[in-house]
Amino acid sequence: MCSQRYGQRVVSIDKDAKTVTLDNGHKYQYDALVSTLPLDITLTWLGKEEWAKGLQHSSSHIIGVGIRGQCPHGLKCWLYFPESNCPFYRCTVFSNYAKSNCPADDAKLPTICKGDGSDPADGSAKEGPYWSLMFEVSESQYKPVNQGEVKLGGTAGTWWVRVLAEQQALLIMRLLLTTLGNGRTPSLASMGSSLPKPAGA
């Protein structure tokens, strides 16, 4: 029979004894352990802190954009951009998951800027229809990201326009920037002991 425990903190895991120890000293026996925790934390609990410190990680900046007009991407949900000069690696057509991811079509909202970053000719509130996009920008020690305030335009603006469809893309919501961490990235340092050795080495 399963039981739930709230407000308790795990401090260590013994994989051989199959036990989890809490900060109050209580131990729980398990048959199988399923964890969604970051790998570095799990390794630390397993007594492998030196392994955890050798891991590299990346972060993602999630940028939500609301647009007035008709979505030009059909039923597509994910758009990928492998080009090295594109600031984002993936774009999700968020409105295709649910209509409620956008305001109601009869909602009147002001235009903040056009898809190319230019100011709107008329900033008065207007009705939809609306659609929305979610962009993902990766960051790591090898790929830093400017954390300051930015405006559409330049090289980045060229890519925005390709996705937004310039002729009808009007942003009606400000960009939302959120940083997520602890996305662990495989590296030669962290995988060195498991890599096959060349013949004769």
Sequence letter at residue 3: S
- Under 8 Å between Cβ of 13 and 42: yes
Length, in residues, of the chain:
201
Q: State the pTM of this model.
A: 0.63
Summarize the confidence of residues 41-58 as an average pLDDT: 85
**pLDDT value at position 149?**
66
pLDDT-derived band at 54 (thresholds 50, 70, 90) equals confident
Torsion angle in degrees (nearest 10) through CA of 141, 177, 118, 161:
70
Q: Residue 114, exposed/middle/buried by CB under 10 A (0-12, 13-18, 19+)?
A: buried
Provide the β-strand partners of residue 128.
none
Q: Radius of gyration over alpha carbons of the chain, in Å? A: 23
pLDDT, tens digit (0-9, with 9 covering 90-100), for 166-195: 444 455 444 444 444 545 565 655 555 544
- Under 8 Å between Cβ of 71 and 91: no
pLDDT-derived band at 41 (thresholds 50, 70, 90) equals confident
